Structure 1
Amino acid sequence: MTERFDRAELLQRLERYYDTVPRAAAEPEDVGPFTSFRPGPVTKWQFYARPRLGYDGDFTADDVRRVLARRAEQGLARNVEWVEEVTPTLWAAVAEAVGDKAHRYPLLVRRDLPPSAEPERVSVMTPDHPDLAASVGAVHASFGETDDLEPAELTGQPDLIASGELIMVAAYDDEGVVVGGGSASPRGEVCELMGIGVIPRARGRGLGTATTEALTRATLRSGATTVFLSAGSDGAASIYRRVGFEDVGTACILELDD
């Protein structure tokens, strides 16, 4: 990480973002030292619980059990997300409550512009783009490790794109078929890149990198000055580092339900 990053300030900026972004499509509820987000009327997306913004006390296994039980009572996925460097006592509390089931992922940030040329074989989606549903389906297929492509049911994406709260990019193969994509959720000066994926048969052609570059350019055009993501593996992190992302922390995720 370069000296231009004030790490503590940057992590607090990301912490505020993590609390802000789900509120566009979810309803928050405080459960002890956590805020639990449940789907609102616009979308069926499953969200998570995370440390309540501004809470600086220690976490206990009972705190974790309580929020997981509340989410189960509401029929929500028992998911918790946090940044280890901001909430260092939560990892041990989760381990005591549910065992060794949480995972750590590299958290990376990029502030500089990608190369001047727009990447090829990608397209930024508009709310009425004919490939919007196909791009969502291709990302789902990529994470399911399948080449079977089907358009996905749209659940609020057009409205969020229209409001500027969601950016989506589709990636195409040489025949013009949508084979991947990714998304981003700008909130003021901060934006997270999410769900970047390419189906197995189309990998190794630079489409993941092109999607990342296109999303980064679009988010910076939207006014964001800090673009970040969490990598799903060390291998993925190494790819993001090669295109200008730098390590800043550790994203922790507990997912007890699909």
Structure 2
Amino acid sequence: MERERTDLLERVERYYDLVPRAVATTEEVGPFTLFVPEEGTGWQFYARPRRPGSATFTPAAVERVLARQLALGLPRAIEWVADVTPSLLPAVRGAGYEPAHYPLLTLPPRVRVPPDPRARVLPPADPHLGIAFGAVRAGFTGRDDVEHQHPGRKPELIEQGALIVVASYEGSRLCGAGSAAPRGDVAELMGIAVPPGHRKRGHGSAITRSLVAACRERGVDLVFLTAGSDTAAGIYRRVGFVDTATACVLEIDG
């Protein structure tokens, strides 16, 4: 079982390094890779360990990459998997910071997850695409007033197969959304959110199930996500996801 878990996390790490490169340039800063998003993408990325598990991390290296982000006008942030790069946590703490810890969950391939009829995949020209991203923003900010958000390059990524967006509905009303970014046989579920007025009616589960089904239709056999809290993780555990590791996120400007 431990060998299987190690293999899963190695695949997750390769994915983390690959996925931002579709919309970002990279810069090596000591033992970190810094992803610099292209203008107009609407995404921000963290710095990540360049050689997970093998590099030497020091408080000085942490301060250096944070200073570089500041110089580039980027949010100062680092993310990593604690189980893969355990030496980074003491270095971050030595620099005077304390990261947040989040459950990283994976979905066993044997777990069958059918799509939910309330949720559907949005094509690149769907008029609800901007509303879907507005609902995600509202869900994370705790607001019910959903504003149309310009999708940026997301329709292009959907057309390329690099992004899947799913929205959940009650009748014709959009009640929440989320996305996934398939890369080969691995995909991360991201930004699953439901505005407060639509919560506790199963929309988070509906979005999750339909994203999983859409990913698997495209040949993905490793689906994973990072839950924003243990409470949120409970939604995904009920779908069939299992706790696999701990993600650490340091956000100074967020």
Question: What TM-score does the superposition give when structure 1 sets the normalisation length?
Answer: 0.94
Total equivalences in the alignment? 253
2:233 counterpart of 1:237: yes
Stretches of structure 1 that go unaligned for 5 or more consecutive residues are none
- Aligned twin of 2:58: 60
State the 1:98 CA deviation. Answer: 3.1
Shift of the 60–115 alpha-carbon distance from structure 1 to 2, 3 Å rule, reads closer
Shift of the 55–240 alpha-carbon distance from structure 1 to 2, 3 Å rule, reads closer
Asked if the contact 1:78–1:256 (Cα under 8 Å) also holds between the matched residues in 2, the reply is yes
2:188 counterpart of 1:192: yes
Structure 1 residues 181-204: Cα deviation after superposition (integer angstroms, max 9, x where no partner): 000000111100010010101111
Structure 1 residues 97-117: Cα deviation after superposition (integer angstroms, max 9, x where no partner): 1322x111011001235444x
State the 1:248 CA deviation. Answer: 0.9
Identity of aligned residues (%): 49
**In structure 1, what is the Cα distance between the partners aligned to 2:97 and 2:127?**
45
**In structure 1, what is the Cα distance between the partners aligned to 2:238 and 2:116?**
16
Match of 1:226 among 222, 226, 240: 222
Question: What TM-score does the superposition give when structure 2 sets the normalisation length?
Answer: 0.95
- Aligned twin of 2:29: 31
- Aligned twin of 1:161: 158
2:177 counterpart of 1:177: no
Structure 1 residues 123-160: Cα deviation after superposition (integer angstroms, max 9, x where no partner): 10110011100000000000010100111011110000
- Aligned twin of 1:43: 41
Match of 2:82 among 70, 81, 84: 84
- Aligned twin of 2:96: 98
**In structure 1, what is the Cα distance between the partners aligned to 2:92 and 2:210?**
36
Amino acid in the other structure paired with 1:123: R
Structure 1 residues 194-243: Cα deviation after superposition (integer angstroms, max 9, x where no partner): 10010101111111000000000001111111000011111111221111
2:238 counterpart of 1:249: no
Moved over 4 A (4+): none
State the 1:4 CA deviation. Answer: 9.6
**In structure 1, what is the Cα distance between the partners aligned to 2:196 and 2:54?**
43
- Aligned twin of 2:205: 209
